[in-house]
Amino acid sequence: MDVFSILWQFICLWLVIYVVIFAIRFYSSQSLTWNQSTWPLTRSSSILPTHGQARENGLNLNDQEDTSKGQRPKDEWTVRLFQVRYTTQRLNGLFSSCARLCPAFWHVWFSLGALVACLAMIVSVAIMLIAAVKMIIAFHRLLLAQDSSSHRLMKREEPVTASSDDPLFLPMIPGVTLPMSHIGYYLISLLVCGVIHEAGHAIASFAEQVQIQSCGLFFIYIYPGAFVNVPDQYLQLLSPFRQLKIVCAGVWHNLVLYLWTLVLLQGGLKLLLECAGWQSLEGNGGVSVVKVRSQSPMYPHLPPSSIIYQLDDLDLENNLVDWNQFLLNKDGRNVLPQLGFCAAMEASTTSLDCCEIDDTYPFGKSANASVSCFKNYHAENGSRKPELLSCLSTIQVLGARHPERCEHDHECSQPTMKCVTPFTPSPSGQVVRIYARMPDWWSQGDRDKVFIFEGELVDIWESIKVGILQPKSWLLPAWLPHRTELLLRYISSFTLALCLLNILPAFKLDGDFAVQLLLTMLFQPNPSTTRTMTRLHTLLIKMISYLAGFVIVSSILFGLLTTT
User: 475-512 burial by CB neighbour count: b if 16+ within 10 A, else e?
Assistant: ebebbbbbeebebbebbbbbbbbbbbbbbbbbbebbbb
pLDDT score at 1: 55
Model confidence at 448: pLDDT above 80: yes
Range scoring the smallest mean pLDDT among 53-57, 236-240, 365-369: 53-57
Distance CA 76, CA 35 (A): 9
Question: Among 114, 116, 115, 122, which residue's Cα sits nearest to residue 246?
Answer: 114
pLDDT score at 142: 77
* pLDDT > 70 fraction of the chain, expressed in percent and rounded: 85
Range scoring the smallest mean pLDDT among 2-11, 258-267, 303-312: 2-11
- Amino acid at site 561: L
pLDDT score at 164: 53
**Residue 274: which residues within 8 A CB-CB, separation 6 or more?**
280, 469
Model confidence at 45: pLDDT above 50: no
Question: For the residues 405-433, what does the mean pLDDT come to?
Answer: 90
Distance CA 83, CA 312 (A): 54
Model confidence at 65: pLDDT above 50: no
pLDDT score at 148: 52
Q: Could you tell me the end-to-end alpha-carbon distance of the chain, in angstroms, rounded to an integer?
A: 10
The helix/strand/coil state of 341 is strand
Distance CA 532, CA 517 (A): 14
Model confidence at 66: pLDDT above 50: no
Distance CA 140, CA 550 (A): 15
Question: Among 477, 552, 484, which residue's Cα sits nearest to residue 189?
Answer: 484
Model confidence at 60: pLDDT above 70: no
pLDDT score at 150: 45
pLDDT score at 265: 94
pLDDT score at 348: 82
| 313 φ, ψ (degrees, to nearest 5) | -95, 10
Q: Is the pTM higher than 0.85? A: no
Averaged pLDDT score across all residues of the chain: 83
Asked if residues 176 and 478 have their Cβ atoms less than 8 Å apart, the reply is no
Question: For the residues 398-413, what does the mean pLDDT come to?
Answer: 90
pLDDT in tens, 84-123: 999 999 899 999 999 999 899 999 999 999 999 999 999 9
Asked if residues 324 and 338 have their Cβ atoms less than 8 Å apart, the reply is no
Model confidence at 238: pLDDT above 60: yes
CA distances from 51 to 247, 498, 505 (A): 8, 14, 16
Model confidence at 61: pLDDT above 50: no
Question: For the residues 226-246, what does the mean pLDDT come to?
Answer: 92
Question: For the residues 20-27, what does the mean pLDDT come to?
Answer: 83
Question: For the residues 287-316, what does the mean pLDDT come to?
Answer: 92
Question: Among 400, 285, 409, 401, which residue's Cα sits nearest to residue 339?
Answer: 409
pLDDT score at 159: 38
| 34 φ, ψ (degrees, to nearest 5) | -115, 15
pLDDT band at 62 (very low <50, low <70, confident <90, very high): very low
pLDDT in tens, 505-551: 988 899 999 999 998 888 877 777 788 888 888 999 999 999 989 98
Nearest 5°: the CA angle 227, 231, 232 is: 110
* pLDDT > 90 fraction of the chain, expressed in percent and rounded: 50
Model confidence at 80: pLDDT above 70: yes
Distance CA 308, CA 209 (A): 59
**Residue 452: which residues within 8 A CB-CB, separation 6 or more?**
394, 395, 398, 399, 431, 432, 433, 434
Question: Among 319, 297, 294, 289, which residue's Cα sits nearest to residue 442?
Answer: 289
Model confidence at 173: pLDDT above 80: no
pLDDT score at 179: 79
